A and B are shown apart, each in its own frame.
Chain A
Amino acid sequence: MLPHLDAAYTLAFWLTRNEDQAQDAVQEAFLRALRFFGSFRGEDGRPWLLKIVRNACYELRKRERAAGTLEGLDEQLHTPDSAAPGAVLVFPVNPEAAAIERAGRDLVHGCLRTLPHDYREAVILRELHGCSYKEIAAICGVPIGTVMSRLARGRRLLQFRIIDRTKRKDTGT
């Protein structure tokens, strides 16, 4: 297996939410990586490659949006970073950790898939790829403070949705 291929594919999969598109994005990204490796100076190649993958996914998404074929998932309802910068995040008194622990694979996947794009990107890079805030900032081209707030809001939203759906499942509604 080529180095970083799984990492590249995982990121592309969670950003595009589609296996075929993830493959296309990864192919495009590796082509671009080849094209630019002349300017590559040998630092850890993974964040560099992930950035290219991320950009390939982003462009794919932009084209889809222009063509009006983007899935109508409920991410549009939540515009990232709409809250005032530096707003204090108040966590629920009872986050019902037990409900989260009960949540099954499909439910967690569903909640993560419908997370707004910018939040999902930060959460995936942190939780699955183990990137530091600094690496995520470099990959997404945003300041570290933005990474921090996207992660906080992304995780909070994910938590609410998992709890909400688990409860609804419990009560059969």
Chain B
Amino acid sequence: MNCPETARLLNPYIDGELDLTTSLAIEEHVQGCARCRASLDGLQATRAAISRHCEFQAAPDSLDSGLRVRVAHEGRGGWRAALRSPVVVAAPGLAALLLAGWLVLADVMKGAGPPVATQTRVVYHISSSDTASAALRNLANHLQAAPDVKVVVVAHNNGVDFLLRGARDESDRPYEAAVKSFSQRGVEFRVCYNTLERRQIASSEVIPEATLVPSGIAEIGRLQSREGYVYMRL
């Protein structure tokens, strides 16, 4: 073990990430090398300073109680049970409220008032499962004709079906692959939480490319009034 090798491995050494043989080789080298020993001392002093001064942050009680209300709802035994449960046990209303709060916060951080549109923004509203594949065809054509367009697809009512796991179109092709490819091109898919609740669909059924919004209709309204989106019903 020479100095450059030791210098490279000192961090994994102090973190216990090396095998025994390599660790012993480093220890042997450090014993006989003042320079590497000084490096090791410095590194350990830095670690000690962090552990002395930067303790674990205690989460505020308000954060704990707020989350507790949601995850421990319905007496399901709290977070761990919620984690294992295949269905949503959170109080949906409150979750939606918090999500709405989050969206408002996101808006505030983006700056007040509707931004000046520098690109064409279009919100596609899909409310029926029959029109989903036609909508995706239109979307593909749209992106081809106007590659810079920003599209948000808001699905609500039976329009959410194509964003559920395992969904297939009339030709038995999975929607998920198409959605994934659109999503890689910057298209966003948002699913109405009210719809899921009403139709008793677990949010875990929604494919990961889609995000949940408290209300599809409210989201469409918000996109139009606050973010300068043009509405398109499909």
A contact residues vs B (CB 8 Å cutoff) = 1-3, 5-10, 13-14, 19, 22-24, 26-28, 30-31, 33-40, 42, 45, 60, 63-64, 66-67, 69, 88-97, 100-101, 103-105, 108-109, 112, 123, 126-128, 132-133, 148, 151-152, 155, 158-159, 162
Contacts and interface: CB of A to CB of B under 8 A. Distances in A.
A67 B38 contact: no
A95 B39 contact: yes
Nearest to B62: A23
B116 interface: no
Contact of A158 (B7, B46, B59, B70): B46
Contact of B63 (A3, A23, A64, A104): A23
Given A27-B98, A34-B82, A94 B38 contact: yes
B98 A34 contact: no
A92 B57 contact: no
A11 B178 CA distance: 35
Interface string B1-22: 0001001101110010100000
B38 A93 contact: yes
27 contacts: A2-B78, A3-B79, A5-B64, A6-B59, A9-B59, A26-B67, A34-B71, A34-B90, A35-B203, A37-B84, A37-B204, A60-B109, A67-B109, A67-B110, A91-B42, A92-B42, A95-B41, A97-B44, A105-B53, A108-B54, A112-B54, A126-B15, A127-B54, A128-B54, A155-B47, A159-B43, A159-B45
B57 to A, nearest CB: 4
A9 B57 contact: yes
Contacts of A67: 109-111
B57 A10 contact: yes
A57 to B, nearest CB: 13
Contact of B102 (A27, A37, A64): A27
A22 B60 CA distance: 10
Given A93-B35, A108-B49, A128-B56, A37 B85 contact: yes
Contact of A89 (B7, B35, B48): B7
Given A37-B204, A60-B109, 17 more contacts: A1-B64, A2-B64, A5-B59, A26-B67, A30-B71, A34-B203, A35-B203, A35-B212, A37-B84, A45-B83, A63-B109, A64-B109, A92-B38, A92-B42, A97-B44, A100-B42, A126-B15
A41 to B, nearest CB: 10
A101 B82 CA distance: 45
A6 B83 CA distance: 17
Contacts of A66: 110
Contacts of B70: 30, 34
A36 B207 CA distance: 10
A94 B34 CA distance: 9
Contacts of A151: 11, 15
Listed from nearest, the 6 A-B pairs whose CB atoms lie closest are A38-B204, A95-B42, A91-B39, A9-B59, A97-B45, A100-B45
Contacts of A89: 7-8
Contact of B67 (A30, A37, A109): A30
Contacts of B95: 31, 34
A22 to B, nearest CB: 8
A39 B204 contact: yes
A159 B87 CA distance: 48
Nearest to A102: B49
A133 B78 contact: no
A49 to B, nearest CB: 9
B71 A3 contact: no
B197 to A, nearest CB: 13
Contact of A27 (B36, B38, B67, B110): B67
A23 B7 CA distance: 39
Contacts of B47: 127, 155
Contact of B53 (A3, A109, A123): A109
